[in-house]
Amino acid sequence: MGYLTVSGHSSDSFTEKKSEFIGYICHVESEEEAVAFINAIKAKNRKARHNVYAYRLRASNLSRYSDDGEPQGTGGVPVLDVLNKEGLVDVCVVVTRYFGGVLLGANGLVRAYSHACKIAVDSAQRQEFCECSLIEAVTDYNMYSKLSFLLPKFGVKMKDELFEENVKLSFFVKAEQCDELKKELTELTNGRIVIDETDGLWEDFA
């Protein structure tokens, strides 16, 4: 079973009734990293009225949010709801609001914070991590063209290709496809291939 996240950090913004909303998103893998990101955004936006946030962590199955002074349920919850609907984990989103003097009302705030989170999510590069194995396959040059035809059918992610005395290919394959691929590699080469597998890894297949 894989999971979705984002790489690095990104941001986007919009204005609603003179209030500027800036959505910031960052890849985090611990509560400490999430808190550090939140504090960095707050420090960057000291004059902002609110810095609403939410984050989700995969390993600890932890979710937290804060309305940061907005009416209860109008800031952090909508942001967290977007992360849940998008199926993203190991992410933290902070939505900064520079108040423009016009009240938005509870429904308006929910829509604004949801939208700010969504545009931040859309601005980021997504990653789809899947449990996989790293395969190192060594064979002779006559088999290379056959392997080049077979491997794309399994959606492998190539890591390296070495052309020395023999051909050595290193690639990631999703865990549920690994056994079938090894079987087909052996059959395709009539056993003229050496396969070394490292399992239990996670890799981005997006």
Estimate to the nearest angstrom the gap between the alpha carbon of 104 and the chain centroid: 32
The ranges of the chain with pLDDT < 70 are: 1
- The per-residue pLDDT for 99 is 93
Same domain for 33 and 95? yes
Same domain for 105 and 183? no
Give CA–CA dist 98/103, Å, rounded.
12
Same domain for 117 and 141? no
- The per-residue pLDDT for 134 is 97
Tell me the helix, strand and coil percentages in the chain, rounded to 5: 35, 40, 25
- The per-residue pLDDT for 3 is 94
The enclosing domain of 55 has a CATH number of 3.30.230.30
- The per-residue pLDDT for 205 is 86
Same domain for 94 and 151? no
- β partners of residue 52: 95
Give CA–CA dist 53/93, Å, rounded.
6
For the whole model, what pTM was predicted? 0.81
Same domain for 90 and 185? no
- The per-residue pLDDT for 174 is 95
Same domain for 19 and 118? yes
Structural domain that includes position 146: 130-204
| Residue length of the chain | 206
| Cβ-contact 96, 131 below 8 angstroms | no
